[in-house]
């Protein structure tokens, strides 16, 4: 087989390598998402602990209240970093989905006979788009859940601040 051979076997090896790299990148993305989820759980736990401490604190102890406010700012800052990381991961996943769609289309072009290639490519392209749309919807739902959780945290913070003002 020459290097200009247009047969499916000629293009399969580079495609296999690219697919392996895409799979490796996806495994890294999955691990990073797991880390981000763990970090979010840590932030939520820190917020819960701080809420418990606030509930047990006398609002007239200004030194303790200042310390609690400082810890709240630290938690808020950490939450902002987690939210930014989640956004980065979502954008990276979108890119990975597009890459996988292209690889799927290239694979079907290599493996299907010329006669059926056009309709098969169109069908596979449609399937890839639908799969990508489902992944996007899933990530959007996860983002909405994170936004709702952030709104609840903000509401809880406002209620805590109001309680502190009323005590003081």
pLDDT, tens digit, 9 for 90 and up, residues 125-146: 778 778 777 877 877 787 788 7
In 3D space, the residue among 160, 127, 165, 168 whose CA is nearest the CA of residue 51 turns out to be 160
The count of other CB atoms within 10 Å of the CB of residue 4 is 6
Confidence band, pLDDT 50/70/90 cuts, at residue 6: very low
Q: Which two tokens stand for residue 94?
A: 């979108």
Spatial neighbors of 112 by CB under 8 A, at least 6 apart, are 120, 121
Rounded Cα gap, residues 163 and 113, in angstroms: 71
Q: Which of 83-97, 107-121, 152-166 has the lowest mean pLDDT?
A: 107-121
CA pair distance 47, 72, nearest whole angstrom: 8
Using a pLDDT cut of 90, give the percent of the chain over it. Answer: 20
Q: Write down the residue that tokens 């493996």 correspond to.
A: 111
């Amino acid at each position: 087989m020459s290097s200009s051979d247009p047969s499916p076997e000629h293009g399969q090896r580079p495609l296999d390598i690219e697919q392996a790299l895409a799979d490796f990148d996806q495994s890294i993305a999955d691990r990073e998402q797991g880390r981000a989820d763990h970090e979010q759980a840590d932030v939520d736990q820190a917020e819960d602990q701080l809420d418990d401490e606030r509930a047990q604190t006398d609002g007239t102890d200004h030194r303790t209240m200042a310390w609690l406010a400082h810890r709240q700012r630290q938690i808020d800052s950490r939450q902002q970093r987690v939210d930014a990381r989640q956004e980065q991961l979502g954008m990276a996943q979108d890119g990975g989905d597009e890459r996988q769609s292209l690889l799927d289309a290239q694979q079907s072009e290599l493996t299907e006979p010329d006669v059926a290639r056009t309709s098969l490519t169109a069908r596979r392209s449609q399937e890839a788009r639908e799969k990508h749309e489902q992944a996007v919807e899933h990530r959007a739902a996860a983002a909405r859940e994170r936004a709702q959780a952030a709104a609840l945290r903000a509401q809880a913070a406002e209620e805590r601040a109001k309680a502190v003002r009323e005590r003081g």
